[in-house]
Amino acid sequence: MNPYRIAQRQFDLASRYLPDLKTGLIESLKRPRRTVTVEFPILTEGGDVTTFTGHRVLHNRARGPGKGGLRYHPGLTADEVRALASWMTWKCAVADVPFGGAKGGVRCDPRELTEADLRRITRRFISELGDQIGPQTDIPAPDINTDERTMAWVYDTFDQLHPGRNNLPVVTGKPIDIGGSQGRREATGRGILFVTREALSRGLVEGLDSVEGARIVIQGFGNVGSNVARLFAEAGARIVAIGDVDGAIALEDGLDIEAVREHHEEAGTVVGLAGTRTVARERLLELPCDILIPAAIGGQLRRDNAPRIGARLVVEGANGPTTPDADRILAGRGIPLVPDILANAGGVVVSYFEWVQNTENQQWDLEEVNGRLEKKMVAAVETVLATREQIAQDLPAIREALVETRKRHPVPDEPLEPVTLRAAAFVLAISRVANVSLERGIWP
């Protein structure tokens, strides 16, 4: 399913719980503010001239500068970037970070490019974007197939084009010695741990009140998945299966995460680790477990496999891993799901911390970063759960108001109950962005 349609559908379903919002404002909040597409050539290390396509989308900046990752992937589309940018708007609002949403990327296959080629692509793409990005307007960060090294190239390119000022805040996820923040690399994974731990302690899953001893299945072993595996194992969880693009491995007694990491580093895949059982990639999501953490790419939990998901709880480490049809099926089966805009917000929270440190010429130690991150994530869980309770109490009035709303424009005709955590997180986010938009006033 088209990721932008998924994002729009999620928004439409959640906006039903906000019938008092003006229809025009709702439509405005759905749409990206700006979409930039550039075509640019580079001279590859092999001597060929190759043209690449890049996108940068600014979805909303009512609450602050746009913020969002930069990904390199051969299947990248403009609609995917639009969806990711909108999710960043809602993610920042849920985490109460003063940023808006943005996203970008280049359609390329890093596996077929040299380091020099990737550097040229990055520098040319950033130069083509020009002042579309900036410390106070739109701030990139690492994403799929980009890392600290890529962000160093982004910073240096922008700094060369804008000399004589502090340009460190133009990008986050930089190397520590170029203004990067302690804890940024594992921030998304650590945030997922904080969110899961807090949600369980508040009774989200009956009979499961701690990650300690919980059986975990993780899809993906990139930056997010590998850090999730390590951090959950350190917290006492049992990682019973891990998968990547080539397949999956399982061990009921729990995988040795360091051994998995070493094997992945040598072989380029988790598959084949001695002493483990190989599992088909599509079967991974259906394994019985306490917590399933999809931390790879979008659209993995769908209508066709949702009836067979074997987890008691789903925590979205990736962006957009669950389609609306799968959402409905999981809710009907009584399987709670912690949505991406809450679960994986740790990355943008620590990106915000890096931006603050760069702006104010400060350096925080790891203990301070992690302490501030935990406080933010715990507060976000608390607020989303409270929002869900408030929606449930207001349902009679919401149903009555929707009767009038349907006379003015179409409204998705799906049950309002159960009120999912995704719906609650979206309602919280939409409300925060809408309130700021109205307080600022619709210009001119």
* The token pair that represents 19 in the structure block: 């019938």
Return the amino acid letter for 202. R
pLDDT of residue 240: 99
C-beta atoms surrounding 53 within 10 Å: 16
Whole-angstrom CA distances from 104 to 81, 126, 288, 441 are 6, 11, 36, 28
The residue with tokens 């299945």 is 217
Average pLDDT (407-425) is: 92
Return the amino acid letter for 332. G
Calpha distance 155→164 (Å, rounded): 14
* The token pair that represents 393 in the structure block: 């109490």
Angle at 130 between CA 351 and CA 32, to 5 degrees: 65
pLDDT surpasses 90 at 406:
no
pLDDT of residue 107: 99
The residue with tokens 């979205």 is 316
**Can you list the positions of beta strands (E) in 234-310?**
238-244, 247-250, 277-279, 289-294
Average pLDDT (215-241) is: 98
Percentage with pLDDT > 90 across the chain: 95
Length of the chain: 444
Domains, the chain, ranges and CATH? Answer: 32-165 (3.40.50.10860), 187-344 (3.40.50.720), 393-444 (no CATH)
Calpha distance 38→44 (Å, rounded): 18
* The token pair that represents 314 in the structure block: 């789903």
Residue of 179, 177, 149, 176 whose CA lies nearest to 167:
179
Angle at 321 between CA 319 and CA 327, to 5 degrees: 120
Q: What is the pairing mode between strands 49-60 and 34-43?
A: antiparallel
pLDDT of residue 291: 99
The residue with tokens 């955590």 is 421
Residue of 265, 298, 244 whose CA lies nearest to 83:
298
> Is omega for the bond preceding 418 within 30 degrees of 0, making it cis?
yes
pLDDT of residue 411: 86
Whole-angstrom CA distances from 407 to 211, 302, 365, 393, 402 are 47, 32, 56, 24, 9
Average pLDDT (431-437) is: 97
pLDDT surpasses 90 at 405:
no
pLDDT of residue 222: 94
Tens-place pLDDT, residues 17-54: 999 898 889 999 999 999 999 999 999 999 999 999 99
- On whether the CB atoms of residues 187 and 95 are closer than 8 A, the answer is no
Average pLDDT (161-185) is: 98
pLDDT surpasses 90 at 203:
yes
Q: Is 375 a catalytic residue?
A: no
The residue with tokens 């988790």 is 270
**What's the chain's Rg over C-alpha atoms?**
21
pLDDT surpasses 90 at 408:
no
Calpha distance 377→349 (Å, rounded): 9
Calpha distance 193→236 (Å, rounded): 11
pLDDT of residue 1: 78
* The token pair that represents 154 in the structure block: 């982004």
pLDDT of residue 426: 99
Whole-angstrom CA distances from 185 to 171, 245, 346 are 14, 21, 10
Tens-place pLDDT, residues 265-320: 999 999 999 999 999 999 999 999 999 999 999 999 999 999 999 999 999 999 99
pLDDT of residue 444: 82
pLDDT of residue 404: 86
Return the amino acid letter for 229. A
Q: What is the pairing mode between strands 337-338 and 311-315?
A: parallel
pLDDT of residue 313: 99
- On whether the CB atoms of residues 357 and 363 are closer than 8 A, the answer is yes
pLDDT band at residue 340 under the 50/70/90 scheme: very high
- On whether the CB atoms of residues 169 and 355 are closer than 8 A, the answer is yes
pLDDT surpasses 90 at 443:
no
Return the amino acid letter for 34. R
pLDDT band at residue 112 under the 50/70/90 scheme: very high
Given 103, 174, 376, 407, the catalytic residue: 103
DSSP for 13-71, please give it: HHHTT-TTS-HHHHHHHHS-SEEEEEEEEEE-TTS-EEEEEEEEEEEE-SSSSEE--EE
* The token pair that represents 282 in the structure block: 């599509």
pLDDT band at residue 442 under the 50/70/90 scheme: confident
pLDDT of residue 409: 80
For residue 435, the SS3 value is helix
Kindly state the DSSP code that residue 263 receives in the 8-state scheme. H
For residue 104, the SS3 value is strand
pLDDT of residue 407: 83
Whole-angstrom CA distances from 309 to 298, 314, 320 are 16, 9, 17
pLDDT averaged over the chain? 97
For residue 167, the SS3 value is coil
